[in-house]
Chains A and B, each alone.
Chain A
């Protein structure tokens, strides 16, 4: 893993990195990747893909309306409420 790849992934995941982490992570993550790459050597020719670890069909609910939260409850943790809406800062970043 290159430093550039690390920075891209960190930015996509909104994870902040210290200078020290930027220095040591590429090498450490590269080691992890090569460890995992051992799996590439396994012959899975006749193995059905595992999409989910548990063999269990999904649960379903009937289409019935259940009580929602009250608006007060819904908005209780919001730091900036306007007229029953959640107010958020400007969405588009400055160029």
Chain B
């Protein structure tokens, strides 16, 4: 049986975070009443003329820079023509021959090796409207309802080279791409709201062969998990065909999430000949290098650079640095807290551990955490001063999340302050030593392990509030060991 190599290329559409649409001044706000954010331009009424949104160009340049692309000084807008009710003008303004950005890459860490996935191009275009199909789906619908609020929102289309070699790698690529677009605030990348969408091309070829096999295009991928699952399904389907000596048909296939299968999609939109030609209503787009440099200056520190800096500057492990830079919010949260506490290990442990755990359990992001970085710094400060033990601190944090009170107030109110003063501890230690003559004798006889038992008893008596190092020290003094 032949050993097959998987070849995947992705096309990703991301909505740009502009306030107004790409060729008109209508709002891009999500969730408005249907057809309340439309005008003659985005409705494609005769005589209306598009006027390009400067910010949309800047965001597309930003995306291009984050993806290491060349920003072309001269690009063009073309009409991509097809008949479909979500397209008001019967053409979409896009960029065909001369896109804004070309030739970049994204680096991925796959099983400890760096994989470089090429970016063929990033171009600017406009969104189509949204259709709601009556009945089960588009195939059985008797009619469809159209809302054009989305029509004309600025989009970038990102096309990769066929460099992706497994379904898992496709998912990792998308996660990295989303991270970059969110870091740079180009797009909010919400797949559930449709602001990030992905189509996948996939083919197989015998390993070692340089020619490409026949590819299929998969649509209706509504989550990163769906991308991976659909590609896994398609690998097996194509492999079975090829090994049975049958041909893979070049076709568009529809992913059915519920059934976990792809289906051939025979709709009239398929036999498309887009007849691209330059849009005479729009001048070519000229971007001079000084504009590109001004946009570059707006770029934040990108995730890879930040990860490396976290390792160099704060001595974090690769794992910790990866987790903490997995979203810009979380990395900001970490650094804001660190600015006050100045102990990278302590802060990273708490942010990655307790804070992340609570946020995940409550479906929140670091940016919307009720416990702000300075609040966490307050708690970590108490740990540093030995005012609370690590164990008690976890309960304090839980209280902070639910009540919103500062750590100090909670510790005070609950009487959770760690007991470190010799006098209070001495009293408890004396009681424990009297009650446990056996272990005391063991310690005196040189069995150091028995100290742990005695410390434990004191901790228990103090309800976790005693400072364990201090207790250990005092027991050793008293027993003279």
Contact check, B141 vs A74: say whether CB atoms are below 8 A apart: no
A95 neighbours in B (Cβ, 8 Å):
266
Contact check, A63 vs B54: say whether CB atoms are below 8 A apart: yes
Q: Bound complex: CA of A92 vs CA of B76, how far in Å? A: 33
Contact check, B57 vs A68: say whether CB atoms are below 8 A apart: no
**In-complex Cβ contact of B145 among A56, A58, A71, A82 (8 A):** A82
How many CB-defined contacts (below 8 Å) exist between A and B? 131
Interface of A is mostly: loop
Contact check, B20 vs A52: say whether CB atoms are below 8 A apart: no
The verdict on B194 contacting chain A, using a C-beta distance below 8 Å, is no
Contact check, A63 vs B26: say whether CB atoms are below 8 A apart: no
Contact check, A66 vs B286: say whether CB atoms are below 8 A apart: no
**In-complex Cβ contact of A12 among B38, B74, B275 (8 A):** B275
The verdict on B206 contacting chain A, using a C-beta distance below 8 Å, is no
**In-complex Cβ contact of A68 among B37, B278, B284 (8 A):** B37
Q: Digitize B23-61: 1 where CB-to-A-CB distance is under 8 Å, 0 elsewhere.
A: 011110000011111111001000000011111110000
Contact check, A58 vs B84: say whether CB atoms are below 8 A apart: no
A residues 38-95 near B (Cβ < 8 Å) are 51-52, 54, 56-69, 71, 74-75, 82-93, 95
Residue of A12, A68, A71 most packed against chain B (CB within 10 A) = A68
Interface of B is mostly: loop
B51 neighbours in A (Cβ, 8 Å):
59-61
The verdict on B317 contacting chain A, using a C-beta distance below 8 Å, is no
Contact check, A91 vs B131: say whether CB atoms are below 8 A apart: yes
The verdict on A35 contacting chain B, using a C-beta distance below 8 Å, is no
Contact check, A58 vs B38: say whether CB atoms are below 8 A apart: no
Given A63-B56, A64-B19, A74-B38, A85-B33 contact (CB < 8 Å)? no
B residues 258-307 near A (Cβ < 8 Å) are 266-268, 273, 275, 278, 282-286
**In-complex Cβ contact of B52 among A58, A69, A83, A86 (8 A):** A58
**In-complex Cβ contact of B18 among A56, A63, A85 (8 A):** A63
- Quick one: closest A residue to B142, CB to CB? A90
**In-complex Cβ contact of B284 among A14, A51, A87 (8 A):** A51
Chain B: residues with Cβ within 8 Å of the partner, total of 53
Q: Digitize B112-146: 1 where CB-to-A-CB distance is under 8 Å, 0 elsewhere.
A: 00000000000000000001110000110111111
Given A60-B57, A68-B39, A92-B139, A83-B268 contact (CB < 8 Å)? no
**In-complex Cβ contact of B268 among A71, A86, A87, A93 (8 A):** A93
The verdict on B199 contacting chain A, using a C-beta distance below 8 Å, is no
Chain A: residues with Cβ within 8 Å of the partner, total of 35
- Quick one: closest A residue to B88, CB to CB? A86
A64 neighbours in B (Cβ, 8 Å):
19-20, 25
A82 neighbours in B (Cβ, 8 Å):
145
Q: Bound complex: CA of A60 vs CA of B23, how far in Å? A: 9
B139 neighbours in A (Cβ, 8 Å):
92
Contact check, B35 vs A66: say whether CB atoms are below 8 A apart: no
Contact check, B54 vs A85: say whether CB atoms are below 8 A apart: no
A positions within 8 Å CB-CB of B: 12, 14, 51-52, 54, 56-69, 71, 74-75, 82-93, 95
B positions within 8 Å CB-CB of A: 18-20, 24-27, 33-40, 43, 51-57, 74, 76, 83-85, 98, 131-133, 138-139, 141-148, 266-268, 273, 275, 278, 282-286
Could you list 14 A-B pairs, sorted by A, with CB under 8 Å? Answer: A14-B83, A57-B284, A58-B52, A60-B53, A64-B20, A64-B25, A69-B38, A82-B145, A83-B145, A84-B35, A86-B148, A90-B144, A91-B133, A95-B266
